[in-house]
Chain A
Amino acid sequence: MMKSAEPVLSVEGLSLSYDTPHGELLALRDVSLTIGRGEIVGLVGESGSGKSSLMQAILQLMPGAARVTSGRILFEGQDLVALGPDGMAELLGDRISVVFQDPMTALNPVLTIARQMIDIQHRRKESRAAKRQRAIEMLRRVRIPDVESKIDRYPHEFSGGMRQRIAIAMALMAEPALLVADEPTTALDATLEIATINLLRELQQEIGCAILFITHHLGVVAELCDRIDIMYAGELVESGPVGPVFADPRHPYTQLLFACDPAQIVETTRHLPAIGGGLPDLIDLPEGCVFAPRCPRADDVCRMQRPADHSAASSDLVRCHYPQAPRLEILP
């Protein structure tokens, strides 16, 4: 992978809360993350870990009750938090693109594929025919068969896998610097998942964009990504290059996660089979480490003090008081 010194995206100490009738819900707390040019970063975590909040913050597509309380999100040196909706609208679909999770609902059901792919080229001062031609070429690149006749069809006339490839084509048409992929393969079956991931990697190499790949599928991260970031209850608990982190995870949560199911985090249950308890209440947080209530190794320090971010041999960041401690003995 080619990399350069300046990252495409760097999230610095980001905290985000939701105003709820019951108090302030601290959805993200002091999250820092960088994505280098052309790098593929896997972001993993259970439901409620904050990975979707982080994605919404990066895209500035947050619900009305959400508020960034501190930190910056630098994209090519520009702070997205301070940018405002108009500035953000300039970037979206041009320098930053997204592929959303559910291909069945992500496309407008009453507009043809051609119409939608022409609409997203609204920044180009070209004729509709030229835009249409560009859309056709892009659909060919994602291997939609028989594009000329299919482009005037509606989304429901395509299969789920095809729709996801159309969504990828739409996202990459502007050759963005950063592609945010929000669980793009979760709704697909295993064979389609592999095909889609291969396609994504191929196009990424041609275009040279960076990808933030949000998933709960650890196998996909190992297969596709350069780096892995693991979130738990609104915090980034571990971050590092894929190989070393998988070989020697340092955070107890990561260790348990890998041990529970090396391929997949079960999205439907919020309770890891090997770890007792559930996610903490994000309105009324525990005093010390956020993972302490569930951590087999937690001591009084863990319960009283918030851990700082440390670095270890395998990981660039471990938010734990004991990053060098021997790995947990986990019984299968």
Chain B
Amino acid sequence: MLAYVAKRVTLAIIVIFTVIAAMFVMMHAVPGDPVRSALGPRASEAMIEAYRIKLGFDLPIWEQLLRYYGAILRGDLGQDVISGTPVLRVILSQLPDTLMLIAGAMSVAVIPGIYLGVVAASRRGGAFDRVSSVLAVSVMAVPSFVIAIYLLLIFSISLGWFPAIGAGEGVAGKLQRLVLPSIALGLAWIGYLSRILRASMLEVMAENHVRTARAFGISRRKIMHDYVLRIAILPTITVLGMGIGQMISGAVFAEIVFGRPGVGKLVYDAIANRNYPIVTGTVLVTTTFFVLIGLIADLLIAFLDPRVRNVITR
């Protein structure tokens, strides 16, 4: 088990290092002075000089890359070129709002997704199955920012049920303003989860051990819950892990449409202000977050599935 964890963690680290290297290459690939292109046109001459010295841009290229890694590992993602604040601090101040939005979207997606998947699988080919399958595909197809705008238009502007803009004050205010963005972001995942779960339920239901359970007169309910869902839920965890990571993409739009603070809004504004260190910093932080969530999902499966757990232990 420990060896598996170590292997999986190493892989995650290698991926993150590769991403950092890719960003470094990108900075150099752009024609012109790499320092200027890294910091953007708004950076002062003093900042550019300081950055040049810090990363040693007169040194050989591989040494520059090492210094680049060193700075990032120390948590130094550079400075906000407008305010001078360290980038990491700016991003961390915005992260909680985004995480809250993702948590909200997940709570919208998980329970209906699992419910629809289970019911569709147990009534395979029936009317419920067909209708829910078309609905699932539909919500997956429509981009979340279109859903976000229409939700805003219908429930906030026309009906006035929810306040439109901002993160809100106090628990009630925050929750109230979380509803629509969470639905906008989570709706597609109801579709994804239900489809994945339905497929894996059907696969498990065809396995021999389910027939054994039936041959012992165990009730259908108990078979579905204890014998089928318990196995079928495992691939869903992987999808959920990927989903949490990919929701960062959707969050950018949800935050802009609903005027919420968060890393999505941060990076959007940073591009508009040509505040490049914020952009690269945010990309790095969200990518790390994405990789970490995927890692956690994999480890969770290894922990939950005795087959994997034991194979790994040996």
Contact = CB atoms under 8 A, between A and B. Distances in A.
The reply to whether chain A is a binding partner of chain B is: yes
Interface of A: 59, 61, 88-94, 97-98, 100, 102, 105-111, 119-120, 122-123, 154, 156-157, 167, 170
A119 B226 contact: yes
B310 interface: yes
Contacts of A111: 226-227, 230
Interface stretch (B85-93, B169-177, B215-223): B215-223
A170 B216 contact: yes
B114 to A, nearest CB: 17
Contacts of A167: 212
A120 B226 CA distance: 13
Contacts of A98: 212, 215
B74 interface: no
Interface string B303-314: 001110010000
Interface in B41-83: none
Given A100-B212, A105-B208, A110-B305, A122 B227 contact: no
Interface string B197-235: 000000000011101111111110010001100110000
B216 to A, nearest CB: 3
19 contacts: A61-B211, A91-B217, A92-B214, A93-B217, A94-B217, A97-B216, A98-B215, A106-B209, A107-B209, A108-B212, A108-B231, A109-B209, A110-B231, A110-B307, A111-B230, A119-B218, A120-B216, A156-B306, A170-B216
Given A110-B305, A110-B307, A157-B310, A93 B216 contact: yes
A98 B218 CA distance: 13
Interface string B231-244: 10000000000000
Contact of B227 (A108, A123, A154): A108
Contact of B218 (A100, A102, A122, A156): A122
Contacts of B227: 108, 111
Contacts of A109: 209, 231, 306-307
Given A109-B307, A156-B307, 13 more contacts: A61-B211, A92-B216, A92-B217, A93-B217, A93-B218, A98-B212, A98-B215, A106-B211, A108-B213, A108-B231, A110-B307, A157-B310, A167-B212
Nearest to B228: A108
Nearest to A117: B216
Contacts of B211: 61, 100, 106
Contact residues on B (Cβ < 8 Å of other chain), bracket: 20 to 34
B215 A156 contact: no
B127 to A, nearest CB: 16
Contacts of B310: 154, 156-157
Interface of B: 207-209, 211-219, 222, 226-227, 230-231, 305-307, 310
User: What are the nearest 9 A-B pairs in CB distance?
Assistant: A93-B216, A92-B217, A105-B208, A120-B216, A93-B217, A89-B217, A108-B209, A98-B215, A154-B306
Contacts of A94: 217
Contacts of A61: 211, 214-215
A153 B245 CA distance: 35
Nearest to A115: B226
Nearest to B311: A156
B84 to A, nearest CB: 55
Contacts of B217: 88-94, 122-123
Contacts of A156: 306-307, 310
Contacts of B215: 59, 61, 92-93, 97-98, 100
A257 B249 CA distance: 67
A119 B212 contact: no
B170 to A, nearest CB: 44
A157 B222 CA distance: 24
In this complex, the member of A94, A102, A108, A109 whose beta carbon has the largest number of chain B beta carbons within 10 angstroms is A108
Nearest to B207: A105
B50 to A, nearest CB: 57
B87 to A, nearest CB: 45
A154 B230 CA distance: 14
Contact of B222 (A102, A106, A110, A119): A119
Contacts of A170: 216
A157 to B, nearest CB: 7
Contacts of B222: 119, 122
Nearest to B230: A110
A98 B209 CA distance: 12
A91 B217 CA distance: 7
B30 to A, nearest CB: 52
A204 B305 CA distance: 36
B176 to A, nearest CB: 41
A105 B230 CA distance: 16
A61 B216 CA distance: 11
A37 B208 CA distance: 29
A90 B222 CA distance: 15
Contacts of A108: 209, 212-213, 227, 231
Nearest to B208: A105
Contacts of A106: 208-209, 211-212
Contacts of B306: 109-110, 154, 156
A89 B208 contact: no
Contact of A102 (B208, B213, B219): B208
Nearest to A85: B220
A146 to B, nearest CB: 18
In this complex, the member of B219, B305, B306, B307 whose beta carbon has the largest number of chain A beta carbons within 10 angstroms is B306
A89 B227 CA distance: 17
A120 B218 CA distance: 7
In this complex, the member of B212, B216, B230, B231 whose beta carbon has the largest number of chain A beta carbons within 10 angstroms is B216
A122 B226 CA distance: 14
A90 B215 CA distance: 10
Contacts of B226: 111, 119
A61 B214 CA distance: 8
